[in-house]
């Protein structure tokens, strides 16, 4: 009898010893799994929040614990909160796959403007994208969105009689022009790239436009004589831009002029011009003379051995030209400003080769 009792006690102890593992296995998670119910509540000392109840809770994730490097791949729009007056264009997962279609779908007003946010990718829409008033066309991140089009056919983006428009972060590649604005007001074109356009990077016609912090370049060996910005009877602020013409004297490829103002009023400030046939040109258009304020610009390696010997050309127009740096790319030139000799350029720094 004593032996029987001892055996019974031994069996009971074995059952008690394996019970926790058996209970864990019964939960369907395996003996090596860790369940949230087995983790102690946050203690409020280690920087975590202490919410009521047991287990791991969202409130226990510390600020900064989830970083960009821990997130990979695209995030579906369905996973993001809906933003008022924001239309998402994306190759997949957005509201539209076409920028033109996205703009056509909205009816913005002065009190209810709309942002067209474009996710990364190249958009070749086969037509001009027409802007509307009170629209911001914005890349998700600068340099990640390209609007491409064939040369010599149409402007890539155009606004006609629109107001309160912003275009930012886009790379314009090709096209007859990158952008054209007609009879428009309060237009801001910022932080874009205009490259390898056939005629002009930007055209303004009877418009008021701010062009700031953009990059203009012609890179193709067959790109002949394109102009960065041309304005007709417009009021412009052109500042903090960079023009890289890659001009070739032998075959006249690259950017002919950086800025041509025709009957316009322009403030041209703090721009950089390199390898351009002519930096800034201002002349009369429709019997209206241009009025230029040209301050703080830097001209390097402008090739003035062609028809117009000037970094800055002023014809039948008036100009205030001050505090510019003119790095003369061709020796034995008498004038830096067409019709205005060096003695007329007090306050500017002229560096002869």
Spatial distance between the Cα atoms of 253 and 101, rounded to a whole number of angstroms: 36
Cβ 155 vs Cβ 128: under 8 Å: yes
What is the percentage of the chain residues whose pLDDT exceeds 70? Answer: 64
> What pLDDT score does 115 carry?
98
Looking at domain 85-351, its CATH superfamily turns out to be: Single-stranded right-handed beta-helix, Pectin lyase-like (2.160.20.10)
Region of 347 (left: φ > 0; alpha: ψ -120 to 50; beta: rest) is left
Whole-Å CA distances, 251 to 41, 76, 224: 76, 50, 8
Spatial distance between the Cα atoms of 141 and 118, rounded to a whole number of angstroms: 9
> What pLDDT score does 343 carry?
46
Q: What is the mean pLDDT of the chain?
A: 79
> What pLDDT score does 6 carry?
46
> What pLDDT score does 326 carry?
80
Run of H or E residues at 146: strand 145-149
Cβ 91 vs Cβ 111: under 8 Å: no
Spatial distance between the Cα atoms of 172 and 151, rounded to a whole number of angstroms: 12
Indicate the pTM of the whole model: 0.74
Q: Both tokens of residue 199?
A: 């005629």
Q: Both tokens of residue 345?
A: 């350029």
> What pLDDT score does 229 carry?
96
Cα three-residue angle 131-137-143, rounded to 5 degrees: 130
Q: Give per-residue pLDDT as tens, 118-161.
A: 999 999 999 999 999 999 999 999 989 999 998 877 899 999 99
Q: What are the structural domain ranges in the chain?
A: 85-351
Contacts of 183 (CB under 8 A, 6+ apart): 160, 161, 205, 206, 207
**Residue 58: CB atoms within 10 Å:** 7
Spatial distance between the Cα atoms of 35 and 39, rounded to a whole number of angstroms: 7
The tokens 């019974």 sit on which residue? 8
Spatial distance between the Cα atoms of 313 and 234, rounded to a whole number of angstroms: 18
Nearest to 78 by CA among 60, 61, 97, 93: 93
Spatial distance between the Cα atoms of 58 and 1, rounded to a whole number of angstroms: 58
* For range 169-186, the mean pLDDT: 96
The distance between the two most distant Cα atoms of the chain, rounded to a whole number of Å, is 127
Residue 87 reports pLDDT greater than 70: yes
More confident residue, 97 or 324: 97
Q: Give per-residue pLDDT as tens, 199-251.
A: 899 999 999 999 999 999 987 655 566 889 999 999 999 999 999 877 665 66
Cα three-residue angle 280-281-284, rounded to 5 degrees: 150
Contacts of 177 (CB under 8 A, 6+ apart): 155, 156, 197, 198, 199, 200, 201, 202, 203
Cβ 169 vs Cβ 138: under 8 Å: yes
């Amino acid at each position: 009898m004593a032996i029987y009792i001892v055996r019974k006690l031994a069996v009971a102890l074995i059952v008690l010893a394996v019970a926790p593992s058996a209970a864990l296995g019964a939960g369907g998670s395996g003996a090596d799994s860790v369940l949230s119910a087995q983790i102690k509540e946050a203690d409020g000392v280690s920087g975590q929040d202490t919410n009521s109840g047991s287990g791991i809770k969202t409130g226990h994730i510390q600020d900064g614990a989830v970083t960009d490097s821990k997130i990979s791949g695209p995030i579906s729009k369905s996973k993001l909160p809906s933003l008022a007056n924001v239309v998402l264009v994306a190759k997949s997962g957005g509201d539209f796959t076409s920028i033109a279609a996205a703009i056509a779908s909205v009816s913005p007003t002065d009190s209810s403007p709309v942002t067209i946010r474009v996710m990364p990718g190249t958009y070749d829409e086969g037509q001009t994208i027409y802007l509307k008033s009170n629209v911001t066309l914005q890349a998700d991140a600068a340099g990640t969105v390209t609007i491409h089009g064939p040369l010599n056919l149409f402007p890539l983006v155009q606004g006609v009689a629109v107001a309160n428009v912003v275009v930012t972060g886009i790379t314009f590649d090709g096209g007859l022009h990158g952008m054209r604005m007609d009879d428009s007001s309060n237009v801001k074109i910022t932080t874009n790239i205009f490259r390898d356009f056939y005629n002009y990077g930007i055209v303004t016609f009877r418009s008021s436009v701010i062009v700031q912090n953009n990059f203009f370049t012609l890179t193709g060996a067959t790109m002949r004589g394109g102009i960065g910005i041309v304005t007709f009877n417009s009021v412009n602020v052109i500042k903090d831009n960079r023009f890289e013409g890659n001009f070739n004297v032998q075959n006249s490829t690259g950017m002919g002029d950086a800025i041509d103002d025709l009957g316009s009023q322009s403030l041209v400030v703090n721009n950089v011009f390199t390898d351009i046939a002519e930096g800034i040109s201002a002349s009369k258009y429709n019997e209206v003379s241009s009025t230029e304020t040209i301050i703080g610009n830097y001209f390097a390696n402008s090739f003035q051995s062609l028809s117009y010997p000037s970094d800055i050309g002023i014809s039948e127009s008036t100009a205030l030209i001050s505090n510019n740096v003119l790095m003369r790319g061709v020796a034995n030139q008498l004038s830096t400003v067409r019709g205005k000799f060096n003695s007329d350029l007090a306050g500017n720094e002229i560096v002869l080769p």
